[in-house]
Amino acid sequence: MNPIFTVTKTLVKYLHWIAGIALVCLMLLTVFDVVGRAFNRPITGVYDLTVLLGAVVIGFAIPMSTQKHMHVYMEFFVDSVPLKWKKTIQTFTYCLGIFLFLLIGWNLMKYGLTLYQRGEVSSTIYIPIYPVVLGMGVSFFLNCFVLLRQLTTVFGKEEEA
């Protein structure tokens, strides 16, 4: 396997773990806030934390879902066409995905740097927003490598693990 794809696979696992930890934190935060509200002691800034943790969960889980083919797939259509067309459709889809994730990742990086330069923080507890946005940008760029690896498997150049 290509060393770039080996590193990509490792980074995807780390991002997936971070997303999982963020999801558990999000769940615990929600439970403690609901219980706290019952005793008139809500957690300050729970909305800000929920938004930021939700962004981490979604953004960091995308490469693993792509790697494991857990996304929505038009299998009934693609499987009904001849192999030549199937490979053409897959190639087009992977190339389009790479282009879109590059574009979104680039814009997230630009936006994250703008947030950093402006010193933007969350509204109630003043947590900087830019690390989450930059992390999502990195995650989307990493997803491009996942899609590139899948593209190499379409024509049998490399076996998918």
pLDDT tens digits, residue range 114-145?
999 999 999 999 999 999 999 999 999 999 99
Tokens of 94: 């992977």
CA gyration radius, the chain: 19
Q: How far apart, in Å, do the first and last CA atoms of the chain sit?
A: 9
Domain edges within the chain: 3-154
Q: Which amino acid is at 97?
A: G
43-47 contact pairs (CB < 8 A, 24+): 44/124, 44/125, 45/122, 45/124, 45/125, 45/127, 47/124
Cβ 58 vs Cβ 137: under 8 Å: no
Name the nearest CA neighbour of 55 among 118, 115, 8, 3.
115
Question: Cα(102)–Cα(64) distance, rounded to whole angstroms?
Answer: 17
Name the nearest CA neighbour of 106 among 63, 67, 143, 138.
138
CB atoms within 10 A of CB 54: 14
- What is the predicted pLDDT for the residue at 160? 55
Q: Which amino acid is at 33?
A: D
Local confidence pLDDT in tens for the 161 residues of the chain: 788 889 999 999 999 999 999 999 999 999 999 999 999 999 999 999 999 999 999 999 999 999 998 877 767 777 788 888 888 988 999 999 999 999 999 999 999 999 999 999 999 999 999 999 999 999 999 999 999 999 999 877 555 55
Token match 């940008």: residue?
137
Q: Which amino acid is at 43?
A: I
Question: Cα(66)–Cα(72) distance, rounded to whole angstroms?
Answer: 10
